[in-house]
Structures are given as structure tokens and as C-alpha cells.
Amino acid sequence: MKNLAYNTYANNNVAVESPEKLIEMLYEGILRFNAQAAAAITANNIEKRTYWINRSMAIFIELITTLDYSHGDIAYYLQGLYAYEQELLIEANLHNDLKKIHEVTAVVKGLLDAWRESTNISQTA
């Protein structure tokens, strides 16, 4: 599981320039996968909904796994936030709930904006 992020992007021939860029890419991945899950919910396609939600869940697992707790309370906060977002995705999958997908997407957009601001990564999307 620890190499999930690296393997995913290495298989897609994406060069990762820095750990900061990798986190940005993971957040962007959640946004893309959630958009696909939302489309599947709208189309009432259970198989695709589950597939795309599981992809987002895998990224949250990777984000939790790579948290550095030596940086203090922020890592514990993010762990709880990521776990809560996973709960919302589970509920979205169980109940075909587009609203939960949008809630997770809004939080991740906020995280991505804050990450870019704090790391001075320019917006590439």
C-alpha cells in the first residue's frame, strides 16, 4: 500500500518532481475520480460508481499512510479529516448519494487550494 501513489503515477508515465507535487497530484486524483463517481451516480451505474469511489478511497488511504506525525497536530487533524471523508464516500456508495460526493469534493478542493498556497505550487489544472 505504501507504494500505491508512486506505482499509480509511474505506470501512467508521470514524472514526480517533488513530494509536494505528489500530494497535489493525489488531491487532483480524488477530484477526477469523484467527478467520475458523480457521473456514474447520475447514470445509476453501480459498477462504475463503486469503481471510482474505491479509487478515491485508495488515495485517502495513501494520504493517511504517508502522514508525518512529527509535524504535530496537523497530521492528526488530517488523519481524522481523511477518515471522515472516507466515511462519506462509503455512504455515497451505499446510498447512491451524489450530495456526499459533492461534500467530499468541496473539502478536497479546499485542501488542494491550501496545499498549493502553502507550497507555492502553481495551479496546473
User: The pTM is what?
Assistant: 0.84
Say yes or no to pLDDT of 59 above 60: yes
Backbone φ/ψ region at 64: left (φ over 0), alpha (ψ -120 to 50), beta:
alpha
Q: Do residues 93 and 38 lie in contact, with contact meaning Cβ atoms separated by under 8 Å?
A: no
Give pLDDT tens digits for 67-85: 999 988 999 999 999 999 9
DSSP assigned state of 39: H
**CA 14 centroid distance within chain:** 17
**Domain 4-119 annotated CATH 2.40.10.10:** no
Sequence spans of domains, the chain: 4-119
Q: pLDDT digits over 80-104, tens only?
A: 999 999 999 999 999 999 999 999 9
Q: How high is the pLDDT of residue 125?
A: 47
